[in-house]
Amino acid sequence: MDTMKGKTVVLTGPTSGIGKEIAIGLTGLGANLILGCHDIDRGRATAIEIGHRTNGPGIDVLGVDLSSTHSIRQFVRAVLERCTRLDVLLNNAGVSRGSVPRATNADGVEITFATNVMGYFLLTQALLPRLRGSSPSRIVNVASTFASDLDLDDLMFEKRPYEGMKAYAQSKACDRLLTWAFARRLEGSGVTVNAMAPGLVVDTGLYRHTPPEIMARLRQRGGRTAEQGADTAVWRVNCCGLTNRARNAQDGMQVREACRGYLHCHSSFSPEIGFPAARARSTMSPGPYLPCRRHEMVALIVIAAVLAVGMIVWVVEPFLYAFLFSKLIELFVGNPPYMSVEQVFPESRLLRDNWRVIREEVDRILENVEAIPRFHEVDPLQTLISARDDKAWRTFFLKGFGAWLPKNCEQVPRTTELLKQLPLISTAMFSIIDGGKHIPPHVGFFKSVLRYHLAILVPQDAPVYIVVDGKEYHWEEGKDVLFDDTYRHEVWNKSSSRRVVLFCDLLRDNTLPPFLRGLNRLMFRLLRSSRKLQSAARRAEVARDLPGASRA
């Protein structure tokens, strides 16, 4: 490997995460570092730590706020005073505001754009004369596979609602274009301009403002360590074989391999202009789901295979078909065990506000609870978890896989009326478990739904709770909870009385990629038409002459 001994590198954002690992890697190769730090004290502490770990050459630490043009000018003056030669500029510093509201810098520029785009541009432009005079030299911009949502008519999010993740994605799309523009203009000058994407590195300061539910989905995808994310940047800085021509997909096979799947925009790059007039759109979107082009290709192959054997599987066992489809969804959807009801299912307020109305109807059907079937009597597949002891788990179904059960609905008309106003609910029932009942650990296999519970009747004499992925939730009357039942979960009723919840499955329409939403609904229609479910629906019907039951 080439050596960096004696070469001077300016690196921004070096105090944590990928930037810190880049600094460690370059110092270990003998580079003289000038660190541009937003927090000068953290920068000095980082420099001391790196010095102890690598025994490398001295490190200069300078303060810079990349969202401030004044701070950038001061930083550039300090850099030029310290070095007569500049071999590498590595633009790494960046911000992602996550759920933090929109803000602007002193010049009125939105903070994410000011830091991640204007900061890169102004710093590069100001140091360019020194880089030209030190050729061969290099500029490396840290980009991202999240790049997307570039709207050249509204870069500042003044016309559209502000979302921190979209602002970050847009800024990284701009960094791609900025890299290509500089590469075009500096071709033949001896200054090489490249960009790299470190891959998904979750545990960095970049995501400190990201909502917990999005962080949980990111962690489910795995990703890379900060050290692994930094290795491509160190390689780019240290490699002599790269040129400005390696910015395009056709010419950049070596670069693309080294960057582990760096994604390029769909729109054609016009070499005549730095920022193309055409809107750039990437296949990566930072919305509620997190697909990428590779996953979409896998999805198409899996869908074709599923359809090819679909009829055979359907004849043998329709739920196996649904299981395979759920595995497909797992490629695209990740979430924590528990989710915010208000954010994912805000319409649930209708049920919470009317829980006492529902309770009145529950009290009536409980007058002859022995007539309500146990879960394994409705669905024999539930025998292992429903019939393992003499304590009953009874289910009063109102809707199953989108099909209403009229005889049962007639006995709880007001509850049925409320549920019919919530079209995303695919299955609804009253789940009734006896005192002392334990439903053992199990997992669901329908990734295409989320599980919703509204507590209707909860004993107070002992704990009554559910455990999902090792985390307990204790039911309270009138309160609701939303969770993913594909996580391992179990239920305890340690009291001596019955517990009743309104148990609903909620279609994932608002958290699925668009091309999967239609398939998800089609799957439910197919399941509803299966003989197995039609037979289960007949077993789920409860006699209309229950004492006290409402009459239609």
Q: Which residues are catalytic?
A: 168
Tokens, residue 487:
């996580």
Q: Which residues pair with 505 in a beta bridge?
A: 427, 451
Q: From 236, 295, 282, 335, select the one nearest 144 (Cα to Cα).
A: 282
Tokens, residue 467:
């455990």
CA distance 495 to 472: 16
Contact 392, 374 (CB under 8 A): yes
Q: How far is CA 218 from the centre of its chain?
A: 5
Contact 446, 439 (CB under 8 A): no
Contact 22, 11 (CB under 8 A): yes
Tokens, residue 352:
């919470």
141: helix, strand or coil: strand
Q: Which long-range contacts (CB under 8 A, 24 or more apart) does 159-166 make?
A: 162/101, 162/102, 163/286, 164/96, 164/97, 164/98, 164/99, 164/100, 164/112, 164/209, 164/210, 165/96, 165/98, 165/210, 165/214, 165/286, 165/287, 166/286
Question: In sequence order, what are the residues at sequence separation of 6 or more whose Cβ sits closer than 8 angstroms to the Cβ of residue 144?
Answer: 168, 169, 172, 175, 197, 198
List phi, psi (to 5°) of 236: -65, -40
CA distance 131 to 273: 22
Q: How far is CA 462 from the centre of its chain?
A: 37
Q: From 275, 292, 281, 172, select the one nearest 221 (Cα to Cα).
A: 292
List phi, psi (to 5°) of 493: -120, 95
Sequence length of the chain is 552
